[in-house]
Amino acid sequence: MPEPTTPHGHCFTYDWTCTCCPPGTPWPCEPAKAGLRVRLDPPDLRLYMTVCWRRAVVTLGSFVDQHGTVYRDLYSRFVGWTE
């Protein structure tokens, strides 16, 4: 699946932070969410964000272990807002 870009360029980095917002801002930020809602219909948006969530769990796995962030928090961040 190609990586959708948002109209405002709010893309993610390797550590799932936004490329346009202040450093450390988690992706998807509000502008990214708005842009993704415009570009993707609801089923595709949910599928894309589920894939992102699964990738983030792998990428941020050590962060999750070190900082006590739970997987459901990542689920809410990536997928929950698409419901």
pLDDT at 45: 97
When pLDDT is cut at 50, 70 and 90, the band that residue 62 belongs to is low
CB distance 51 to 57 below 8 Å: no
pTM: 0.79
Q: Report the mean per-residue pLDDT for the chain.
A: 84
When pLDDT is cut at 50, 70 and 90, the band that residue 65 belongs to is low
Contacts of 52 (CB under 8 A, 6+ apart): 12, 28, 78
Domain boundaries, the chain: 41-82
Residue 12 pairs with which residues in a beta bridge? 18
